[in-house]
């Protein structure tokens, strides 16, 4: 084999996957047809559990530029309706406002630091697979060549060639009725007071939050340290020719119903001026075909509303990487790789569902306005806000049921002695955390890839945590049933190497 894994696509998902594979001791080669990283503005940040996942890999501080752990957001929106997250006792929604170009830069640095190989200017053009591996045909600066790999993973976006060559269908719906426009633009300085845009004839507009009117949707985005921008979404307003700044101005005025004078910014930075007609909600019929797998937009595409794309795709990558590594290294229990689709497909289905629901809530019309009024009443109840916040963040994910309510859920951010759990998960290895006096569970024979940590802390008294941060087993007390449960979880997820008693 030339390498363990070939990844098609060096966007955030492909780069995150490469880093996770290297942490697991697997050799990936990342292919990217673009010779350099794209500077075209795309996503403007991260929303949800993925922010906490990046903290558990030591990447949050590098991306945020601030020390310490991430903190929950004080507010957010659902379908251009405010979510009062301060109503919640446990707020699960985390935000990291960083442009995608910076995310890709940091993830590329990390992948290369860990020893991943990145081949820019090299494009997947074909492959064949057999029972032992995949032969990938590539086009590079010196012509066509081939690589032999154990697995091929498509992280090559919504138009994924990997998916098409694998013969995997991509059913869903296309909506051609919307037109989205975004451009770098400054608003009059005298209109901005107290952090709000005060628009005569309209009212106050908070930054970064969607404003729905009877005619469309508007967003004002005064990015710190970057060129400011405005965005609109309209229905059934056909575009004409190449996008211009005047077209953006006209769209803003139509949506708001008043004139907001815009000016092209004079500062340094990458300028945006783009138009997007329509959108897709699609889900691959399968996330796997033999030794070929899909992550991110290659497996699912949906509306950008709510910023769910990278939350979904990056967690695909973290879920898949350790399972592929287990297969490559020979310790995977039977069916482990099948759990990738079994776990991630329902999550993707829910994201498609709620992004479509949000798109319906921002549509024009008096009937939608009435629906929003009713929905707004629901959002005055903290229980409903909690449910939406859990949905948007991914905190409601439960991969599998177990004897303990934490099994299958995101591991809580507990302290072990004075260390945060996030600090103990930097290596990307499975983790057995034993907080019992004397380490009652730490002496259990475990596969050598599992790291065992003992110390003092709060309940639960012991946790077995998968590399992707989800709980495989938990205990509140020491007993025969708990010990049997631990052995069962070890066999289910981490079988296949000689068992040793490992402690740290």
- Do the bridges between strand 431-434 and strand 462-465 make them parallel or antiparallel, or are there none, so unpaired? antiparallel
Question: Cis peptide leading into 460, omega within 30 of 0?
Answer: yes
Read out DSSP for 332-375?
PPTTTTHHHHHHHHHHHHHHHHHHHHHHHHTS-SHHHHHHHHHH
pLDDT tens digit string along 369-395?
999 999 999 999 999 999 999 999 999
Edge-to-edge strand list for the sheet holding 203-205: 192-193, 196-199, 203-205
Q: Examine the pLDDT at 503 and tell me if it is beyond 60.
A: no
pLDDT in tens, 103-153: 999 999 999 999 999 999 999 999 999 999 999 999 999 999 999 999 999
Specify the pTM: 0.93
Q: For all residues of the chain together, what is the average pLDDT?
A: 92
Question: Do residues 116 and 22 lie in contact, with contact meaning Cβ atoms separated by under 8 Å?
Answer: yes
* Torsion angle of the four alpha carbons 310, 315, 316, 319, in this order, in degrees rounded to the nearest 10: 170
Cβ-Cβ contacts under 8 Å for 338 (sequence gap 6 or more): 288
In the predicted structure, residue 426 carries a pLDDT above the cut 60: yes
Q: Please state, in angstroms and rounded to a whole number, the distance separating the CA atoms of residues 250 and 183.
A: 12
Confidence of residue 499 (pLDDT cuts 50, 70, 90): very low
Q: Could you tell me which residues are beta bridge partners of residue 473?
A: 464
Greater confidence (347 vs 439) lies with 347
pLDDT band at residue 496, thresholds of 50, 70 and 90? low
> Comparing 418 with 252, which gets the higher pLDDT?
252
**Is residue 504 scored above 50 in pLDDT?**
no
Q: Higher pLDDT residue, 40 or 406?
A: 406
Give Cβ neighbours of residue 357 (< 8 Å, ≥ 6 apart). Answer: 79
Residue 500 has pLDDT above 60, yes or no: no
**DSSP 3-state of 412:** coil
Structure tokens at 410: 């995101």
Query: Which sign, positive or negative, has the C-alpha torsion 411, 57, 306, 205?
Result: positive
Q: Which of 138, 169, 171, 163 is CA-nearest to residue 293?
A: 163
Domains and CATH numbers, the chain: 3-172+281-393 (3.50.50.60), 175-278 (3.30.70.2450), 409-494 (3.40.30.120)
More confident: 232 or 477: 232
Task: Report the distance separating Cα 479 and Cα 458, nearest Å.
Answer: 18
Q: Where are the alpha helices (DSSP H) in 143-205?
A: 161-165
CA trace torsion 342, 347, 348, 349 (10° rounding): 90
Q: What confidence category does residue 440 fall into, taking pLDDT thresholds of 50, 70 and 90?
A: confident
pLDDT: which is higher, 448 or 341: 341
Percent of the chain with pLDDT over 90: 78
CA proximity to 17, closest of 125, 121, 114, 144: 114
Tens digit of each residue's pLDDT (9 = 90 or more) over 318-353: 999 999 999 999 999 999 999 999 999 999 999 999
As a whole number of angstroms, the distance between CA 105 and CA 63 comes to: 10
Give Cβ neighbours of residue 380 (< 8 Å, ≥ 6 apart).
Answer: none
């Amino acid at each position: 084999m030339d390498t363990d894994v070939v990844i098609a696509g060096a966007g955030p998902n492909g780069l995150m996957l490469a880093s996770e594979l290297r942490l697991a001791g697997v050799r990936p080669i990342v292919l990217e047809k673009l010779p350099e990283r794209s500077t075209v503005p795309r996503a403007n940040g991260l929303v949800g559990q993925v922010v906490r996942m990046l903290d558990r890999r030591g990447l949050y501080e590098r991306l945020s530029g601030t020390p310490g752990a991430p903190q929950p957001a004080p507010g957010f929106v659902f379908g251009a309706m405010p979510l009062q997250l301060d109503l919640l006792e446990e707020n699960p929604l985390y935000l990291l406002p960083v442009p995608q170009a910076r995310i890709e830069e940091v993830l590329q640095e990390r992948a290369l630091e860990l020893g991943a190989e990145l081949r820019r200017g090299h494009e997947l053009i074909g492959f064949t697979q057999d029972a032992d591996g995949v032969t990938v045909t590539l086009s590079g600066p010196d012509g066509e060549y081939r690589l032999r790999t154990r697995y091929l993973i498509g992280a090559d976006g919504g138009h994924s060639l990997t998916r098409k060559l694998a013969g995997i269908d991509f059913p869903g719906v296309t909506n051609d009725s919307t037109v989205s426009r975004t451009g770098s633009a400054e608003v009059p300085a005298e209109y901005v007071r107290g952090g709000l845009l005060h628009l005569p004839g309209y009212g106050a507009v908070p930054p970064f939050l969607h404003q729905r009117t009877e005619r469309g949707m508007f967003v004002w985005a005064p990015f710190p340290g970057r060129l400011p921008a405005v965005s609109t979404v309209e229905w059934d307003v056909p575009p004409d020719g190449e996008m211009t700044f005047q077209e953006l101005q006209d769209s803003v005025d139509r949506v708001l119903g008043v004139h907001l004078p815009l000016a092209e910014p004079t500062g340094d930075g990458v300028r945006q001026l783009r138009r997007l007609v329509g959108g897709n909600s699609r889900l691959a019929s399968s996330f796997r075909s033999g030794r070929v797998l899909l992550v991110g937009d290659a497996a699912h595409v949906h509306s950008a509303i709510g910023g769910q794309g990278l939350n979904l795709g990056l967690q695909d990558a973290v879920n898949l990487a350790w399972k592929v590594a287990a297969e490559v290294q020979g310790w995977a229990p039977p069916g482990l790789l099948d759990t990738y689709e079994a776990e991630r497909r329902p999550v993707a289905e829910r994201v498609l569902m709620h992004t479509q629901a949000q798109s319906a809530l921002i549509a024009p019309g008096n009937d939608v306005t009435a629906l929003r009024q009713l929905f707004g009443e629901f959002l005055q109840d903290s229980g409903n806000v909690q449910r939406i916040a859990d949905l948007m963040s991914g905190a409601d994910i439960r991969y599998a049921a177990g004897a303990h309510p934490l099994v299958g859920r995101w591991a809580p951010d507990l302290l072990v002695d004075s260390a945060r759990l996030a600090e103990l998960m930097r290596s990307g290895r499975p983790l057995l955390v034993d907080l019992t006096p004397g380490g009652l569970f730490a002496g259990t024979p475990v596969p050598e890839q599992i790291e065992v940590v003992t110390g003092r802390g709060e309940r639960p008294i012991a946790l077995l945590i998968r590399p992707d941060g989800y709980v495989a087993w938990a205990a509140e007390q020491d007993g025969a049933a708990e010990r049997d449960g631990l052995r069962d979880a070890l066999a289910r997820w981490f079988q296949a190497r000689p068992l040793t008693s490992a402690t740290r």
